């Protein structure tokens, strides 16, 4: 049951990705004002990035997706080989499945097997205990743990949790008891500044806003569970939750608007959700993200072109990101914060709306 759910996720996310490729989203609301003489030499640009204790050669990482099924095995193998070849961090999908059923562990452990020296993060859902977290990290010999908070997805999933009351306390236990850093993320509905503040207050120091506009898990769960009668299906579906949530741009602007968070030296904010191309990466960085995660895009490449394809696409992103820094005259990620950016469209409207008390 849990395995077929994971296979549904892969199949439906890949189908969504085919439609999302080239489609507009909130990243288009972020424009760099073009200054034709601002540029610099691409050879003088440093695009390395830092997330908490980790330094990476390029400001991108492969976000948590899959594991636990036969379909996941070649996908994780391809992603892990590409992560090893390029030095970008990679997260596993939720290892909850392997903790509950150790027979499914191999499709997770390949992530470390093929990337023995790279930065690997295990992934676990909120609601799990410190012991689960330790087991998840041990399984992958992981350098860090991603914990996903996914209340919208759980609500739409027929077999999902309906009780979110213990999540914050359990995350606090894990943060204080685990000896590797914890990254808390959404799964594509965003983390508001208020949520990030709650997480900071219990000791979390790395957050991935994982906003909407890319892979949509409300739609995936709706599509997984279609009712045989199309008339009843229209009522059974949570279609009206599909547009809920914050985009990564909303989240970054929300966080930037809270001084204590935006100026907190020991808080790392990374962004993901709907990232399509190198310009989206640089846009998120200009709004305060230290690095940027890709899930659906990498899934599609892994399924179509395997490890070599993922490696090539990561290298293309890295080259283009360097070119963009040079074009914008930004010598490093820090300098991107001083570029001239205009926010328009729904992202600007929502940011203005939030500022009205
Ligand atoms: C995911 N995502 C995810 N996140 C997580 O924390 N644990 C998980 O197990 C999964 N599983 C998963 C499966 C598949 C097939 C996809 C495509 C995604 C969510 C992912 O990390 C990310 O937050 C969202 O997909 C939004 O980013 P993209 O896809 O728009 O880049």
Residue ID of nearest Cα to ligand 1 atom 15? 10
Query: What are 253's two structure tokens?
Result: 């602007």
Confidence of residue 12 (pLDDT cuts 50, 70, 90): very high
Q: Is the pLDDT of residue 308 over 90?
A: yes
ipTM over 0.90? The verdict is yes
Strands in the chain per DSSP E? 30-32, 49-51, 54-56, 60-62, 90-94, 120-125, 144-148, 182-185, 206-208, 268-272, 292-294, 341-343
Q: Is the pLDDT of residue 223 over 60?
A: yes
pLDDT at residue 355 in the model: 66
CB of 211 closer than 6 A to ligand 1? no
Q: Residues of the chain with pLDDT > 70: what percent?
A: 99
Burial of 172 (0-12, 13-18, 19+ CB in 10 A): middle
pLDDT at residue 254 in the model: 98
From residue 70, give the alpha-carbon distance in Å to each of 19, 62, 92: 25, 20, 15
CB of 185 closer than 6 A to ligand 1? yes
Ligand 1 mean position, distance from CA 35 (Å): 36
φ and ψ of 13, to 5 deg: -65, -40
pLDDT at residue 356 in the model: 58
CB of 209 closer than 6 A to ligand 1? no
Tell which one of 295, 299, 314 to mutate to probe ligand 1, the residue whose CB is within 8 A of the most ligand atoms: 295
pLDDT at residue 278 in the model: 98
Tally of CB atoms within 10 A around 255: 26
Ligand 1 mean position, distance from CA 342 (Å): 29
Rounded distance between C-alpha atoms, residue 174 and residue 169, angstroms: 9
Rounded distance between C-alpha atoms, residue 17 and residue 298, angstroms: 10
Ligand 1 mean position, distance from CA 187 (Å): 5
Its pTM stands at 0.98
Q: Is the pLDDT of residue 245 over 60?
A: yes
Nearest atom in ligand 1 to the alpha carbon of residue 64 is: 21
Ligand 1 mean position, distance from CA 296 (Å): 7
Nearest atom in ligand 1 to the alpha carbon of residue 210 is: 23
Ligand 1 mean position, distance from CA 212 (Å): 11
**pLDDT tens digit string along 13-52?**
999 999 999 999 999 999 999 999 999 999 999 999 999 9
Q: Which of 28-32, 38-42, 180-184, 221-225 has the least mean pLDDT?
A: 221-225
Q: Is the pLDDT of residue 1 over 90?
A: no
Query: What are 321's two structure tokens?
Result: 């990101």
pLDDT at residue 332 in the model: 98
Q: What is the 3-state secondary structure (H, E, C) of 95-161?
A: CHHHHHCHHHCHHHHHHHHCCCCCCEEEEEECCCCHHHHHHHHHHHCCCEEEEECCHHHHHHCCCCC
Mean pLDDT score across all residues of the chain: 97
Confidence of residue 64 (pLDDT cuts 50, 70, 90): very high
Contact 341, 33 (CB under 8 A): yes
Q: What is the mean pLDDT of residues 88-108?
A: 97
Break the chain down into helix, strand, coil percent, rounded to 5: 50, 15, 35
Rounded distance between C-alpha atoms, residue 274 and residue 295, angstroms: 9
CB of 63 closer than 6 A to ligand 1? yes
Nearest atom in ligand 1 to the alpha carbon of residue 147 is: 6
CB of 59 closer than 6 A to ligand 1? no
Q: Is the pLDDT of residue 53 over 90?
A: yes
CB of 9 closer than 6 A to ligand 1? yes
Rounded distance between C-alpha atoms, residue 180 and residue 54, angstroms: 11
Q: What is the mean pLDDT of residues 223-241?
A: 93
Computed from CA positions of residues 321, 89, 15, 94, in that sequence, does the dihedral angle turn out positive or negative? negative
pLDDT at residue 2 in the model: 83
Ligand 1 mean position, distance from CA 121 (Å): 14
Q: Is the pLDDT of residue 195 over 80?
A: yes
HSE-up (13 A, CA, CB side) for residue 319: 6
DSSP 166: T
φ and ψ of 203, to 5 deg: 110, 0
**pLDDT tens digit string along 67-92?**
999 999 999 999 999 999 999 999 99
Residue ID of nearest Cα to ligand 1 atom 23? 187
Place of tokens 């009843």: 232
CB of 66 closer than 6 A to ligand 1? yes
Residue whose C-alpha is closest to residue 83's, from 61, 58, 105: 61
pLDDT at residue 354 in the model: 79
pLDDT at residue 353 in the model: 87
Q: Is the pLDDT of residue 127 over 70?
A: yes
pLDDT at residue 3 in the model: 85
């Amino acid at each position: 049951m849990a395995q077929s759910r994971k296979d549904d996720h892969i199949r439906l996310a890949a189908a969504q990705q085919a439609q999302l490729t080239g489609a507009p989203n909130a990243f288009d609301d972020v424009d760099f004002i073009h200054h034709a003489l601002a540029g610099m030499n691409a050879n003088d640009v440093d695009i390395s990035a830092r997330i908490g204790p980790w330094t990476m050669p390029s400001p991108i990482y492969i976000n948590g997706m899959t594991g636990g099924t036969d379909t996941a095995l070649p996908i994780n193998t391809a992603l892990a080989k590409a992560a090893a070849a390029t030095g970008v961090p990679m997260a596993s999908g939720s290892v909850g499945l392997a903790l509950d059923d150790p027979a499914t562990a191999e499709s997770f452990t390949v992530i470390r097997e093929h990337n023995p020296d790279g930065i690997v993060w295990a992934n676990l859902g909120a609601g799990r205990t410190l012991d689960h977290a330790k087991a998840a990290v041990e399984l992958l010999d992981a350098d860090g743990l991603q914990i996903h908070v996914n209340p919208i997805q759980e609500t739409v999933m027929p077999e999902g949790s309906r009780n979110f009351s213990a999540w914050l306390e359990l995350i606090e236990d894990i943060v204080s008891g685990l000896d590797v850093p914890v990254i808390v993320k959404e799964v594509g509905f965003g983390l508001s500044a208020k949520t990030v503040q709650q997480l900071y207050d219990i000791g979390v120091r790395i957050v991935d806003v994982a906003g909407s506009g890319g892979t949509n898990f409300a739609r995936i769960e709706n599509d997984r569970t279609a009712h045989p009668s199309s008339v009843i299906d229209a009522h059974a579906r949570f279609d009206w939750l599909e547009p809920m949530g914050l985009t990564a741009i909303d989240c970054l602007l929300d966080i930037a608007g809270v001084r204590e968070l935006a100026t907190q030296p020991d808080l790392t904010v990374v962004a993901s959700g709907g990232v399509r191309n190198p310009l989206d990466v640089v846009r998120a960085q200009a709004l305060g993200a230290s690095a940027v995660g890709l899930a659906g895009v990498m899934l599609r490449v892994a399924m179509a072109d395997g490890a070599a394809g993922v490696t090539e696409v990561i290298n293309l992103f890295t080259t283009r990101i360097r070119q963009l820094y040079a074009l914008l005259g930004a010598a490093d990620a820090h300098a991107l914060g001083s570029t001239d950016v205009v926010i328009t469209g729904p992202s600007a409207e929502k940011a203005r709306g939030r500022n009205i008390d």
